[in-house]
Structure 1
């Protein structure tokens, strides 16, 4: 039954939950009802997953606000690095990474290795982000990042609910399969021992 196509499985569930049929066992009805409950859980989990995503979005937006309050940007230019492995090599396959940048702070010129999300060649302008102490930090997250985090949280909550329901149905079905196998074995033994004397007639 585990190899049933989806359409056949749906038909089997409808038959199991439909009108009384002497061929449909109670265990079949329980299994069909459990399968239906998986779809019910999938639907009921949607608002909870959506709320979890909204909470994650709000929390990340508060984090972004905090980052914007404690970080500020300065304009700098890319300068040759003392270590050639730090400077991105210009070309089609340039890889992004730490970049040596230089900018002016008051009357002083400051040179630091800074994170740079895009490839930049010598002399090109880059934006450097600093915290309230002047330490180089990553750029603040964006609302797009918050949206991605929210989507991931929603999907995780919904998937966890559905997977839990599926595992519970799987465990129930395993128990029902053992029960059905035991019932079949008991009925076969009864048939073999008591069949109106047919089995004893040839012994």
Structure 2
């Protein structure tokens, strides 16, 4: 019958929580530090992620509430393809447009469909003062941006808490090594 024996590399799970006469007070303290650190990592990650996502959703909702569509007219022909003008890959090109807003007529650059002629009507988005703004994000775009920001913020907060826990454990380890050195100074000469 083969017996299994533990090797030096085998980990014993929850060893800090088991009864052991060799377990020091600092080992128990370290066990609590590890437990509290992981609980705080989860809590900070979730709360910070939700707060970050909520802030993005709120900001995009406010921005959408303060922008509205306005009919404008092209003042120049739009490029026929997106390669004619610096495009961002969304199929639109930049062209000069004119629209009416508080304070009189306004002109500016807006993204329009390629191939439109001067005088063609287009829809642009403006703020309360009549200045051009980008089109508000759709519901899917808002959710995507909020979830990405929430994930990044949550991971950052969790990483910060984890780093603090590691610093506390490192300090505890240094104290433990100093205690062992002091004890060895007393016991070491007796072994020679």
TM-score strictly above 0.5: yes
User: 2:94 maps to which residue?
Assistant: 99
User: 1:64 maps to which residue?
Assistant: 64
Which consecutive segments of 4 or more residues in structure 1 shift more than 6 A?
A: none
Greater share of residues in helix: 1
Q: TM-score, normalised by structure 2?
A: 0.65
User: 1:150 maps to which residue?
Assistant: 146
Is the CA contact 1:129–1:136 (under 8 Å) kept in the aligned structure 2? yes
- State how many pairs are aligned: 174
Q: Kindly tell me: are residues 119 and 176 of structure 1, through their superposed partners in 2, closer, same or farther at Cα, counting changes over 3 Å? A: farther
Q: TM-score, normalised by structure 1?
A: 0.62
Partner of 1:194, secondary structure, is helix
Q: Shift in Å at residue 21 of structure 1?
A: 1.6
Is the CA contact 1:99–1:113 (under 8 Å) kept in the aligned structure 2? no
RMSD between aligned residues: 3.9
Structure 2: gaps (5+ residues): 1-8
Is the CA contact 2:96–2:110 (under 8 Å) kept in the aligned structure 1? no
Mapping of residues 91-170 of structure 1, within 5 Å: 91=83, 95-96=87-88, 99-102=94-97, 112-116=107-111, 120-123=114-117, 126-170=122-166
User: 2:70 maps to which residue?
Assistant: 73
Structure 1: gaps (5+ residues): 1-7, 82-86
Is the CA contact 2:44–2:157 (under 8 Å) kept in the aligned structure 1? yes
Q: Structure 1 residue 182 and structure 2 residue 167: aligned?
A: no
